[in-house]
Structure 1
Amino acid sequence: MQSEDFATSLCPCGSGLKPAKCCELNVWTAGPPSAAARSADGPAAQGVKAFKQGDYPVAARLAVEALERSPFDPVALKALAGVRELEGRAGAAITLLRRAAHFDTSDYATTVKLVQMAIARGGAEAAEPHARQAVRLSPTNPQAHYLMGMTMTQLGRHALAAHHNRRALELSPRREPLILTNLATNLLETGEIETARELFREADAAQPNDRRTLLAWARLEEIDRKFDDAETLLDRVDQIARNNPQATLRRATVLGRRGRVDEAVKLLDERASAGARQLGPQELLERGRLKDRLGLHDEAWADFSAGKARALELGAGAYDEAAANRLTSNLKTYFTRERLAVLPRAEDRRDGPQPIFILGFPRSGTTLVEQTLSSSDAISAGDELPFVGQIAAISPRLLSSPWEYPGSLSDLLLGDRREGLDDLRNFYLASARRMGVARDDTPFFTDKMPLNETHLGLIALMFPRAPLVHVVRHPLDVMVSAMSNFFTHGFGCGRDLESAAKHLLMTADLVEHYRGVADLNYLELRYEDIVDDQEATVRRLFDFVGVPFDPKALEFEANERYARTASYAQVKEPLYRRSRHRHQNYLRHLAPAQKILAPLIERLGYEVEPLAA
C-alpha cells in the first residue's frame, strides 16, 4: 500500500518527480540552478556519467535527486529526459526537455531534440516554436531548415515548408534525397505537379527504392490520374516492404478511382484479416467510402465509426467544445451593430489582386465552388489560406492591445490606431503574395479556409467590399461526409457525429448573428442548386463576384489545378448527383445529429425524407 501511495504522489506526466518539483512549477518565476547544483561532482553530473555508461536506473535516481534540490538544473533535466525516452515515456521526456530549453534558449541540441520528438508523436503544433528557434539559433545549418520544413509540412503550410526545404538543399553539401522528397511533397500540395514529379525522380535516382519517396510519388501519380504509373510505384514498394499499410491504402484508393471498387474493398478486407495489425483510421474510412459506393451503407457506417474511434485511441484530440463555445460567445458579444457603427474600416485597396472568400463548413461544396471560379482566367485558386485566423491570433500584438481578440479590435478606436485595419489587411495581402496565390496576372484569388465564417466580422472590417460566398448544403449530407473524412479545423469537431453536428449548428448561428449586425457583401449559394441547375447558379455566382461568366466554369473537372482537399478526386469528375440526399441511406445512424440540427434544417428550408422504396 505504501508503494502505491508513493506512486500516486508522483507527477502524472511520468517524469518520476513529485508534482511540486515538476509540472506544478511556475517556470516564469523560477531562477536558474544554483552553483552547487552545477558542481562537477554533484548528483546531476554523476547522473550524466551513469547515463553515458548505460546504467540508466542509477542515472534516473541521481537526476531525480538533483532535481528535487534544484528543479531547473538543465543537466539533470536532460539526463532524466534521456532515460524516460529510452523507457518509452516520450511525453515525460518532452516535458523535461521543455523545462531545460526554457532556461537555456541557446541550446541547439535540446531544441532539435524537442522538434524531433514532437513530430514523431504527430505533434507538429508543439514542434513549431522549437523548429523556429532552431532556425534562429543555427540559420546556416541545413538540419534546422529541414526540421522547420518538416514541421510546416505536417501543419499543411506547404509554401513555407517549401522555402525551408529549398534552403536546406542550398546549405547541404549534397542534394539529400529525403529533402528532395519533402520538397516534392510541398510542391505537389501547392499545385506544381511537374516540378514535384522531377524532384521525386531525382530523389529515387539518388537513393533507389526508398519507401517514403515511392509512396509520396505514387500519391502524386494517383492525384494526376496516371494510375498505371502509381501502381508501378506501389509494386516497387511491395518488393521492398510486403504488406506495407500505406501502400495498401494507396493501392485501394487507386483501384477505387479506376472503378474497381470490389477489388479495393477486398484488398482492405484481406489486410484486416491478415492479423498483423488492425486497420488504421484512414484505412477504415477509405473502406467505408468504398462500401458506400457499393450500397453497403450499414457496413460503411460501421467503418466510419470505427475509424473515428481508432483515431481517438491513437491520440487524436477530442472536440474542445468549451473553447468553441467560449470563442463563439465572445464574438457574438463583441460584434454588435452598435460597436460596428463606430469601428473604422480598412480603406479599399485596388493596386493588386483581391480576395474572394468562399465560406462554408468542411464538405459543404467549397472545393467545387473554388474549382468553378478558378476555371476563369481572372481568378486564381488560393485554396485554404490560414491568414484570417493568424491575424485574429496576433491582433493584440499588431495593434499593441492589452486585450485578446476580439477585444483587441477596440484599440482601433484610439487616435493612433485608427489605421490599424490597413495594417491587418496589408498583412493578409502580403502573406498571400508571398505564398504565390496573389498573382499580378489575375485580379482575384480565392480563400476557402474552412470555417473562416467564424471570423466574418473581422473579414468585413479588413475587406468591406470583398465577395463573401457562403456555400450551404443539407446539414445531414454534411454529416455523412463529416463521418467519412477527417477534419483539420474547428476545435477537433468531426471526431464523432455529435461534435460535428454541434459545431455546424454553432457556426451557422454565428453567421446568422453576423448577418444581423453587419453590412456584408454576402451570397448564400446552395450546393444542391449547383447540381440541379448548374449554369444558372454559376452565372449568378460570377455576376456576384463581378467577373464575366466563363463557359469553362461549367467543365470545372477540366481545371488543371490540384485541389488539395478530401474532395480532390470528386472535382476531377463531371458534376454528379450521388452526393445529394446521401443522408437518406443513413437516417437510422444520423438520429443523434438530426436532433441537434433540427433547428438549422428547418431554418434553411431543407426536409428530412426517408429513402423512397
Structure 2
Amino acid sequence: MTSSPAQVPPADAPCACGSGLRNVRCCGLDWSVAPEATRETPELDRARAALGAGAVAEATRLLIDLLEKFPRHLDALRSLYQIRSAENQAMPAEVLLNRIVRLDPNDLSATQALASLLFAKGALAEAEIHARNAVRLAPADAQSHNLMGMIMTEAHRPQVGEYHYRRVMELLGASNAILSANLAWNLKNQGRIEEARKLYEASVRLEPNVFQTVYGWAQMEETDRNFARARELLDAAERLSPGNRTVRLARAVLHGRTKNFQSAVALLDEIERSPDGNGLGPLEWTEKGQLLDKMGRYQEAFAAYDSGKRTLRAMTGQTYLADEARDLVERLRGFFTASRLSILPRASVRNDVAQPIFIVGFPRSGTTMVEQTLTAHPRISAGDELPTINELTAIIPRMLNSPLAYPEAFADLWLGDQIEGLDNLRDYYLQRARQLGAVRKGASWFTDKMPLNETHLGLIALMFPQAPIIHLLRHPLDVVLSVFSNHLTHGFYCAYDLESIARHYVLVMGLVEHYRREMTLRYLPVRYEDIVDDQESNVRKIMSFVGVPFDKRCLNFHENRRYARTASYAQVTEKLYDRSRYRYRAYLKELAPVIPILEPAIYALGYTID
C-alpha cells in the first residue's frame, strides 16, 4: 500500500519526534548547515547544575530554551539526549543521536549509542552504517567490534560477525562469559552447533546466572531438535527471570515444534492478557497465527496475522517503499533491453573455483526447501542468503569508475579501461562467497538463495552467463498469504501490509518476464506444487539442469542437519508434506482485496482460483 505524503506540521508546533523542541528548531530545520561553535552559556551551566541536583524538568526546560536559540549546539543536544535516553524515550533519543552524529561524525560514543539503539529496534541496515563508522573511528576499541559482531550476526552475515567477535577476544585478552555466549549464538547461525554448544557450556561455567545466555542456549537446542534439553534450559531461564514473556514465547514455539498446539496458544493468550498491558508483539502475533492455522482456526489465524502487521507498523512507522521499488524496476527495464544487451560484454567463466547456483523466488515460495534438497548432494555446498548481489548494486558505479548509478553505470563497459569490468565484479562476488563460508571443500557448486535476487537477473547473467538460475514458483495467493503470515523485511518492506505484498509480487514477476524476453538466461522455472506432487522426477530435473548426477540423499532433505537461517527452518526439518499447497483456499474471504491485483499473474502462471 502506498502511503500518502506526510503533511508538514506548523513551524511552531511541537516536533512529532518528542524531543520537546518546536518542529522549526528540530526535524524541520535544515541540518546540512554547520553547527554553531560549542560555547559555554549560562543556560548550559544552569542545566548541568540542575541535572546534577536531580531537577530533570528544570534542566530540560533550560536545554530546550538554549536549543531554541542555538539548535545546532552540540553540548546542549548531548545533554538533552542523555535526559531522553534516561526517560526511555526511544524516538527522541534516536533523533537527537542522529543529529549529534551528523554534526560531529567523530563522536565515538554517540556513534556507538546510535548503532546500539538502531540494532535494538531491528533497523539493521542503518545500525550497520554507524557500527562500521565506529570501527573506523576506533579500530582497537572492543565495543566497536562487538557492535559489528552483533549486527552482522543478526543481518545473516555471521562469518563477518565472527571475525569481529574474535577481534574483541583479542583486544580483551581474557575469557568473557557474555562474549562467549554472543559468539555461540553467531556459530549457531552458521550451523556450527557443536562449537556453539561448547561455548555456551563455557559461558555458563563462568557466569551461570546470565539470563540471555541460558535463553539463547535454549533457542539453539530447539533449533537442533533437542527438544527435551531446550525445555530444561527454558526452565532454568525462567528461574532466572520469573514470568519473562520471551521465555513464554519460546515455550509456545517449542510446544508448536512438538505439535502441542493447544498449549502453545494458551501460553500466548496468557501473554496477551498480561497485566503489564503490553499485549502481544509482532513476533508473538505471528506465532499465534501460525499455530491457529495448524489447528484449522483460519479466521482467527488471519486476524492474528493482521494484528501482527498493525503492531509492527505502529512500532516501526515503516510502510512499503512503493515509489523506490517502482523506480528501480522501471530503470532496470529501461536499461536491460535486447538491443543494449546484444553489445554488452559478458564475464568469462572461471573453472578454478566453485560456481554459484542461484535459487531465486519471492519469499515463501519454496527456495529453502530446494536449497536443502540441493545441498544434501556432496558436490553442492550451502551459501544460504548471500547479500552480495545487493551489495554489488551499490558499489558497481565505484568499481567501474562511473558517474552513473546502477544499472546505467554498465554503459562504462563500452570504455576501453573497463573491458574487464564484469570479470572484476564476478571475482568480487566469488571472493565474498568464499569469505561468507559458502564454499565447502570438495564442492563444485554453492547455492545463493537470497530472496528477490530475481530483481537483478540482468546483473547475474552478465557476471555468470552459464550459472544455473532456478526460479521457484508457487500459487501467488499462497505466496502472498505466507509472506503475510511471517515477519520479513525483504522487498522494500512490502511484507508490512497485505496489499503491498501483492503489488510487489506483481512488480517483480513483471520484471522477470521482461528479463526472459530481452536476454538469454540459463533459467529453469520450478513449481513448488510439482515438487510436492512428484518429488523424485522434479529433483532429477533440477539436478540434470545444474549438471550433477542424481543422489538419493537429496530426496530426504529433512535429514540435512544444516541449519537453514530462514523463517522456514522448522518446516524443512520435516518430510515433504502437502498441507501448505493451495493453503489460500481456507482464506479466500480474507484474501479477496488482493485477488484483483494478483489475477493476471495467477492465470499467466497457469494457476486458477478454486
| Shorter-chain TM band | over 0.9
* Separation in 1, partners of 2:485, 2:512: 25
TM-score, normalization: structure 2?
A: 0.94
Contact 1:469-1:525 at 8 Å conserved across structures: yes
SS of the residue aligned with 1:93?
A: helix
Contact 1:352-1:440 at 8 Å conserved across structures: no
Contact 1:456-1:511 at 8 Å conserved across structures: yes
**What does 1:526-537 align with in structure 2 at a 5 Å threshold?**
526-537=527-538
SS of the residue aligned with 2:440?
A: coil
Counterpart amino acid of residue 503 in structure 2 = K
Query: 1:243/1:63 Cα in 2 relative to 1: closer, same or farther (>3 Å)?
Result: closer
SS of the residue aligned with 2:356?
A: strand
Counterpart amino acid of residue 230 in structure 2 = A
1:502 aligns to 2:503 (yes or no): yes
Counterpart amino acid of residue 358 in structure 1 = I
Counterpart amino acid of residue 302 in structure 1 = A
* Separation in 2, partners of 1:445, 1:47: 60
SS of the residue aligned with 1:375?
A: coil
Q: Which moved more, 1:500-509 or 1:316-325?
A: 316-325
How far residue 406 of structure 1 moved from its aligned partner, in angstroms, is 1.4
**What does 1:184-195 align with in structure 2 at a 5 Å threshold?**
184-195=184-195
Equivalences, count: 601
SS of the residue aligned with 1:117?
A: helix
Contact 2:77-2:96 at 8 Å conserved across structures: yes
SS of the residue aligned with 1:494?
A: helix
- Counterpart of 1:444 in structure 2 is 445
- Counterpart of 1:281 in structure 2 is 282
Contact 1:531-1:577 at 8 Å conserved across structures: yes
* Separation in 2, partners of 1:256, 1:63: 52
1:364 aligns to 2:365 (yes or no): yes
* Separation in 2, partners of 1:96, 1:258: 46
How far residue 350 of structure 1 moved from its aligned partner, in angstroms, is 1.6
How far residue 42 of structure 1 moved from its aligned partner, in angstroms, is 5.2
**What does 1:60-459 align with in structure 2 at a 5 Å threshold?**
60-276=60-276, 277-315=278-316, 317-459=318-460
Contact 2:12-2:24 at 8 Å conserved across structures: no
How far residue 164 of structure 1 moved from its aligned partner, in angstroms, is 0.9
Query: 1:412/1:66 Cα in 2 relative to 1: closer, same or farther (>3 Å)?
Result: farther
SS of the residue aligned with 1:302?
A: helix
* Separation in 1, partners of 2:232, 2:483: 32
SS of the residue aligned with 2:532?
A: helix
Counterpart amino acid of residue 470 in structure 2 = V
Query: 1:544/1:181 Cα in 2 relative to 1: closer, same or farther (>3 Å)?
Result: same
Query: 1:51/1:234 Cα in 2 relative to 1: closer, same or farther (>3 Å)?
Result: same
* Separation in 2, partners of 1:263, 1:100: 48
* Separation in 2, partners of 1:268, 1:97: 36
1:54 aligns to 2:54 (yes or no): yes
- Counterpart of 1:22 in structure 2 is 26
* Separation in 2, partners of 1:348, 1:331: 24
- Counterpart of 1:473 in structure 2 is 474
1:598 aligns to 2:602 (yes or no): no
Deviation string, structure 1 residues 393-413 (Cα, Å, up to 9, x no partner): 121222222222111222222
How far residue 69 of structure 1 moved from its aligned partner, in angstroms, is 4.6
Q: 1:31 aligns with which of 23, 29, 34?
A: 34
Counterpart amino acid of residue 230 in structure 1 = A
Q: Which moved more, 1:399-408 or 1:450-459?
A: 399-408
Contact 1:15-1:93 at 8 Å conserved across structures: yes
How far residue 515 of structure 1 moved from its aligned partner, in angstroms, is 0.3
Q: Which moved more, 1:368-377 or 1:255-264?
A: 255-264
Query: 1:235/1:339 Cα in 2 relative to 1: closer, same or farther (>3 Å)?
Result: same
* Separation in 2, partners of 1:421, 1:49: 61
Deviation string, structure 1 residues 391-448 (Cα, Å, up to 9, x no partner): 0012122222222211122222222122211121111111111111123421110000
* Separation in 1, partners of 2:200, 2:62: 49
* Separation in 1, partners of 2:498, 2:34: 48
Unmatched 5+ residue regions in structure 2?
Answer: 1-8
SS of the residue aligned with 1:524?
A: strand
Counterpart amino acid of residue 527 in structure 1 = Y
Contact 2:157-2:436 at 8 Å conserved across structures: no
Q: Which moved more, 1:567-576 or 1:406-415?
A: 406-415
* Separation in 1, partners of 2:593, 2:57: 51
TM-score, normalization: structure 1?
A: 0.93
How far residue 132 of structure 1 moved from its aligned partner, in angstroms, is 1.2
How far residue 67 of structure 1 moved from its aligned partner, in angstroms, is 3.8
* Separation in 1, partners of 2:97, 2:478: 46
Query: 1:298/1:546 Cα in 2 relative to 1: closer, same or farther (>3 Å)?
Result: same
* Separation in 1, partners of 2:253, 2:41: 60
* Separation in 2, partners of 1:83, 1:257: 44
- Counterpart of 2:4 in structure 1 is none
* Separation in 1, partners of 2:212, 2:170: 22
Query: 1:568/1:87 Cα in 2 relative to 1: closer, same or farther (>3 Å)?
Result: closer
Counterpart amino acid of residue 242 in structure 1 = P
Counterpart amino acid of residue 90 in structure 1 = A
SS of the residue aligned with 1:358?
A: strand
* Separation in 1, partners of 2:480, 2:41: 63
SS of the residue aligned with 2:589?
A: coil
* Separation in 2, partners of 1:608, 1:294: 24
Counterpart amino acid of residue 96 in structure 2 = L
Query: 1:14/1:400 Cα in 2 relative to 1: closer, same or farther (>3 Å)?
Result: farther
Deviation string, structure 1 residues 200-221 (Cα, Å, up to 9, x no partner): 1111221213221122111111
Contact 1:180-1:203 at 8 Å conserved across structures: yes
Identity of aligned residues (%): 47
Query: 1:580/1:411 Cα in 2 relative to 1: closer, same or farther (>3 Å)?
Result: same
Q: Which moved more, 1:42-51 or 1:161-170?
A: 42-51
Counterpart amino acid of residue 465 in structure 2 = P
How far residue 361 of structure 1 moved from its aligned partner, in angstroms, is 0.6
SS of the residue aligned with 2:112?
A: helix
Counterpart amino acid of residue 36 in structure 2 = P
* Separation in 1, partners of 2:273, 2:19: 39
